[in-house]
């Protein structure tokens, strides 16, 4: 009665009373409890639910349907749960999660009732909600159920897809549960493979990190053989470094520019042997026919169960030139590889191109498709996700190219600072094509130099046979006191490499297929102590021109540990000896060079002592002339922390060496301190000198005199400019393994200015102190003329007898002739004023008698041409015997072009002492002559 009353009330159109849902609830309860008739109760519940849904009361309808579920009938409960789920999804604000949850409950009850198709449908609808929400456990359960139901219903493809989703997702299941999922998948997968014709089905495991794929183009290098050390080059074991890549690119640009007359071609692309996600992959890489291509694929096992991989191979296809047909090819299988739980590993597979073709790797079912960098240029690129091209898996195979291998023999790992060591390098052409144009560039071009194969002996069988062999070219000479330096005139073009690229001297400049050659390589330890990374880049070309690959390069990196050896400080000052006392000076005056050498080695390498065996010089204008050694020692030995002071006389080069056709030539002067002379102008001493010393521009010294004299700063600079390079050659005795070894080396000191000390050690840059912030701009400092430098324009010397005897009894006035020599040290015309009335007030002058006078003209005004030497005759008058200082004339000078400038007082030499003796009457002859 209540059921019929509720239906009647609902069917009354426009009834003021609402639908009496409680009537239906009473009827349902009566059918269930009193009548024990569940069919009538279900009919009443379904009728009431439809009435509630028609009125939009989906929540009440879902509640009513859920109440009717029970354990008595799985099919009835499944239908009611499914209808309740649809009520949740049809609400004004859909309750999506409740819909999915009740669909899963309905699918479970359908499965228990044997309705697998309905169960699969419910789970698939629920999966639409749970997918990509991060609920991994729920997804695993749903996918597992879908997979089982699909396999039971003979839908193997859907089953494989469902099980695959379980394995590729980030699962939080236990290892046992993951193992069960994996076994279930393998069982389904095995049955699918046996029943289908799919050649390459997609495998979910292991996961591939496509962006981390690396491609290596190159030959597998031979390892070191015996004493040989192979070049490091490039391998997959090396990590990519952006700074290092930029450095190698810069070296390659230097090499390419040296071949193309100093210009880098516009289409130049740096060589890339290993491509990864950080390299430039916009262009197709170039590979060489018959050379391997190694593809390193990064696998990741997301499971907690180990995976054993075997028979790995790379599938690829290619298209030949001019044809559109393609053929799928398989590379050789690799050995077995095991990936443990949650491990990431890289496996390399390779292939070899056997014909000229455009290669396109099949990216296959394992997602080997590489996305390029994301585009972010236009507005559309920023709003959408777009990726640029990545061509690292699309190489172009080119015709054969030469392939070179480099080996090093007796290459050291530790050197003293400045130590010279002779090693050997072997170049092997392992390809079927001849190579030419062999060059090398380095980050440290001053570290090494190549010799000529024709003048170099063959490599010794073992290093022991070369222990006491000198790396220098020497001549046996006997040390003679007072001997002058041996001189050689050398052109800088014979040694210097303006671009920093060194051409390797091989016979015929060509290395045929299968040939190898061995060359000497001289090394010099860096001037700074510590560990130094030195990089070599070898360049070579094919004898055939017009190929896609214009050249090839080979990299090599070494680490050298440099230890301290000697420290050299040098300075120069003008000599006070009159110019005409030196026959070799040609009236231009000499210079004294002081060299201070200290042994700063800590004896960690077993170094006993250092011997200074020779001091050489190299310059366009100056040369070491003579060694001034008061002790007359044959050798200079320095133990730890000992110091030696050496003095040399330097003179200007001979006039014929300064002609216009020899501006670029340098004079090498050798002063040996032992029994042998080292020819500093030959290899390796001359090579390392020109590599280590910065050679000034030669055109600066060829400017006209009037142009140089117009600038006061240039005048001062030229006046004190020396430009003399000192080469200290030493030997060190080392005890190693109860054997005494002799080490050799050389240090360089560049003397640029007279009076300024130079050192062989590189000065360390001091950290700048913090400066307070100033809000008011300071006035610029006043321009101060370099008085100290302008006082060295004129060099003065007094020539007079050291002792003079005069009879003061007969003649009270003693007149002594004195010659004042003036030397213009500058390259400009100079106005000179000589004042003889000046009285010195220095302490040195007060200690001697000053009661004398200059007779005759007391002031002179002269004009000296550039580097002119002028002698001025004077007379000094003495009234009594004694010791007098004649160095009283005051000399003032200024450049003639600087008319507004006042004359600057010039520096005087040391005191010029003269002894005046008085003779008695008995000693005089009768005629009064002297």
Domains of the chain: 2-202 (1.25.40.10), 210-234+273-398 (no CATH), 566-696+707-759 (no CATH), 792-923 (2.60.40.10)
Residue ranges of the chain with per-residue pLDDT less than 50: 323-325, 352-364, 452-468, 580, 582-588, 657-660, 662, 696-710, 784, 845-847, 921-922, 924, 926-930
Q: Give the span between the Cα atoms of 615 and 670, in whole angstroms.
A: 6
CA dihedral 672, 673, 678, 680 (to 10 degrees): -60
Displacement of CA 367 from its chain's centroid (Å): 36
Q: What is the pLDDT of residue 453?
A: 43
Whether residue 834 contacts residue 859, with contact meaning beta carbons closer than 8 Å, is answered with yes
Q: What is the pLDDT of residue 615?
A: 93
Q: Give the span between the Cα atoms of 232 and 229, in whole angstroms.
A: 9
- Report the candidate in 176, 175, 205 with the shortest Cα–Cα distance to residue 189: 205
Q: Give the span between the Cα atoms of 313 and 292, in whole angstroms.
A: 14
Q: Give the span between the Cα atoms of 336 and 305, in whole angstroms.
A: 17
pTM above 0.85? no
Q: What is the DSSP string of 434-498?
A: -EEEEEEEES-GGGEEE--GGGSPPPPSSGGGGTT--SS-EEE----TTPBPEEEEEEGGGT--T
The encoded tokens of residue 412 equal 């050291």
| CA 440-442-446 angle, 5° bins | 110
Whether residue 600 contacts residue 581, with contact meaning beta carbons closer than 8 Å, is answered with no
Q: Give the span between the Cα atoms of 623 and 639, in whole angstroms.
A: 29
Q: Give the span between the Cα atoms of 644 and 660, in whole angstroms.
A: 40
Q: Give the span between the Cα atoms of 680 and 748, in whole angstroms.
A: 12
Neighbours of 150 (CB within 10 A): 23
Express each pLDDT in 244-269 by its tens digit: 999 999 999 999 999 998 899 988 99
- Using CB atoms within 10 Å of the CB of residue 64, give its burial: 0 to 12 exposed, 13 to 18 middle, 19+ buried: buried
- Using CB atoms within 10 Å of the CB of residue 118, give its burial: 0 to 12 exposed, 13 to 18 middle, 19+ buried: buried
Q: Which residues pair with 891 in a beta bridge?
A: 834
- Own/partner pairs for 192-197, CB < 8 Å, 24+ apart? 192/156, 192/157, 192/159, 192/160, 195/156, 196/156
Whether residue 413 contacts residue 560, with contact meaning beta carbons closer than 8 Å, is answered with yes
Q: Give the span between the Cα atoms of 741 and 736, in whole angstroms.
A: 7
Q: What is the DSSP string of 694-710?
A: -PPPGGGGGS-HHHHHT
Phi, psi of 174, rounded to the nearest 5 degrees = -75, 165
Q: What is the DSSP string of 653-676?
A: PPGGGGSGGGTTEEEEEEEESSSE
Express each pLDDT in 322-346 by its tens digit: 544 455 566 655 555 555 555 555 6
Whether residue 906 contacts residue 574, with contact meaning beta carbons closer than 8 Å, is answered with no
Q: Give the span between the Cα atoms of 24 and 330, in whole angstroms.
A: 73
Neighbours of 333 (CB within 10 A): 12
- Report the candidate in 152, 150, 153, 127 with the shortest Cα–Cα distance to residue 140: 127
Would you give the DSSP letter of residue 769?
P
Q: What is the pLDDT of residue 457?
A: 43
Q: What is the pLDDT of residue 700?
A: 42
């Amino acid at each position: 009665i209540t059921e019929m009353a509720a239906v009647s009330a609902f069917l009354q159109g426009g009834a003021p009373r609402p639908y009496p849902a409680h009537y239906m609830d009473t009827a349902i309860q009566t059918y269930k409890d009193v009548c024990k008739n569940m069919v009538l109760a279900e009919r009443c519940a379904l009728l009431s639910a439809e009435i509630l849904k028609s009125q939009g009361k989906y929540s009440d309808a879902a509640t009513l349907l859920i109440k009717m579920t029970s354990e008595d009938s799985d099919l009835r409960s499944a239908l009611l749960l499914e209808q309740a789920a649809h009520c949740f999804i049809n609400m004004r604000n859909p309750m999506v999660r409740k819909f999915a949850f009740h669909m899963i409950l309905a699918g479970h009850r359908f499965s228990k009732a044997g309705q697998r198709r309905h169960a699969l449908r419910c789970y698939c609808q629920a999966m639409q909600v749970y997918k990509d929400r991060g609920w991994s456990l729920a997804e695993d359960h749903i996918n597992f159920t879908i997979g089982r139901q699909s396999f039971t219903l003979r839908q193997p493809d859907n089953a494989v897809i469902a099980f695959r989703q379980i394995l590729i997702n980030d699962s939080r299941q236990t290892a046992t549960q993951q193992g069960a999922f994996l076994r279930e998948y393998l069982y389904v997968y095995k049955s699918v493979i046996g029943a289908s014709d799919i050649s390459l089905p997609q495998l979910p495991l292991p996961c591939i990190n496509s962006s981390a794929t690396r491609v290596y183009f190159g030959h597998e290098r031979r390892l070191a053989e015996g004493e040989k050390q192979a070049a490091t080059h490039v391998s997959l074991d090396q990590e990519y470094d952006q700074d290092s890549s930029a450095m190698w690119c810069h070296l390659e640009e230097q090499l390419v520019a040296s071949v193309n007359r100093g210009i880098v071609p516009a289409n130049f692309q740096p060589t890339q042997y290993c491509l990864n996600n950080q390299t430039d992959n916009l262009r197709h890489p170039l590979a060489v026919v018959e050379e391997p291509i190694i593809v390193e694929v990064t696998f990741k096992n997301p499971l907690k169960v180990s995976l054993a991989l075997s028979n790995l191979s790379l599938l690829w296809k290619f298209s030949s030139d001019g044809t559109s047909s393609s053929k799928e090819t398989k590379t050789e299988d690799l050995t077995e590889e095991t990936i443990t739980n949650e491990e990431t590993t890289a496996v390399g597979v390779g292939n070899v191109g056997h014909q000229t073709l455009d290669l396109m790797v099949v990216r296959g079912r394992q997602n080997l498709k590489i996305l390029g960098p994301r585009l972010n240029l236009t507005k559309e690129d920023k709003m959408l996700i777009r990726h640029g091209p990545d061509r690292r898996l699309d190489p172009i195979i080119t015709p054969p190219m030469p392939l070179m291998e480099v080996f090093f023999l007796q290459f050291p790992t530790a050197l003293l600072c400045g130590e010279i060591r002779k090693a050997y390098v072997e170049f092997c052409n392992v390809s079927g094509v001849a190579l030419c144009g062999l060059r090398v560039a380095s980050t440290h071009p001053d570290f090494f130099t190549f010799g000529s194969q024709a003048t170099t002996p063959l490599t010794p069988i073992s290093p022991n046979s070369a222990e006491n062999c000198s790396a220098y070219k020497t001549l046996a000479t006997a040390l003679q006191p007072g001997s002058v330096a041996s001189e050689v005139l050398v052109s800088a073009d014979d040694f210097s490499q303006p671009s920093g690229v060194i051409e390797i001297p091989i016979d015929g400049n060509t290395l045929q297929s299968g040939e190898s050659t061995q060359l000497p390589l001289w090394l010099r330890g860096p001037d700074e102590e510590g560990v130094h990374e030195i990089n070599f880049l070898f360049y070579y070309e094919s004898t055939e021109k017009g190929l896609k690959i214009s050249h090839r390069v080979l990299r090599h990196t070494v680490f050298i540990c440099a230890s301290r050896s000697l420290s050299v400080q040098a300075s120069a000052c003008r000599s006070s000896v009159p110019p005409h006392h030196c026959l070799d000076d040609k009236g231009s005056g000499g210079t004294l060079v002081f060299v201070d050498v200290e042994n700063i080695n800590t004896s960690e390498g077993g170094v006993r002592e250092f011997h200074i065996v020779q001091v050489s010089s190299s310059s366009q204008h100056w040369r070491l002339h003579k060694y001034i050694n008061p002790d007359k020692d044959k050798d200079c030995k320095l133990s730890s922390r000992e110091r030696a002071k050496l003095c040399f006389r330097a003179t200007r080069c001979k006039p014929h060496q300064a002609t216009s056709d020899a501006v670029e030539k340098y004079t090498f002067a050798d002063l040996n301190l032992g029994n042998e002379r080292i020819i500093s102008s030959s290899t390796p001493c001359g090579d390392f000198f020109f590599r280590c010393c910065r050679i000034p521009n030669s055109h600066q010294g060829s400017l006209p005199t009037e142009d140089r004299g117009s600038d006061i700063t240039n005048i001062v600079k030229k006046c004190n400019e020396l430009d003399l390079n000192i080469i200290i050659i030493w030997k060190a005795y080392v005890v190693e393994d109860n054997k005494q070894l002799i080490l050799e080396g050389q240090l360089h000191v560049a003397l640029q200015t007279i009076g300024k000390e130079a050192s062989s050690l590189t000065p360390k840059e001091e950290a700048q102190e913090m400066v307070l912030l100033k809000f008011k701009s300071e006035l610029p400092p006043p321009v101060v003329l370099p008085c100290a430098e302008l006082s060295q324009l004129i060099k003065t010397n007094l020539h007079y007898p050291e002792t003079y005897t005069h009879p003061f009894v007969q003649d009270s006035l003693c007149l002594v002739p004195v010659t004042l020599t003036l030397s213009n040290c500058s390259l400009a015309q100079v106005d000179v004023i000589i004042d003889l009335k000046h009285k010195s007030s220095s302490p040195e002058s007060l200690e001697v008698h000053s009661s004398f006078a200059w007779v005759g003209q007391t002031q002179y005004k002269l004009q000296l041409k550039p580097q002119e030497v002028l002698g001025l005759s004077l007379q000094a008058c003495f009234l009594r015997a004694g010791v007098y200082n004649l160095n009283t004339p005051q000399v003032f000078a200024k450049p003639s072009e600087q008319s507004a400038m006042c004359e600057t007082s010039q520096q005087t030499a040391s005191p010029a002492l003269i002894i005046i003796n008085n003779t008695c009457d008995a000693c005089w002859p009768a005629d009064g002559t002297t």
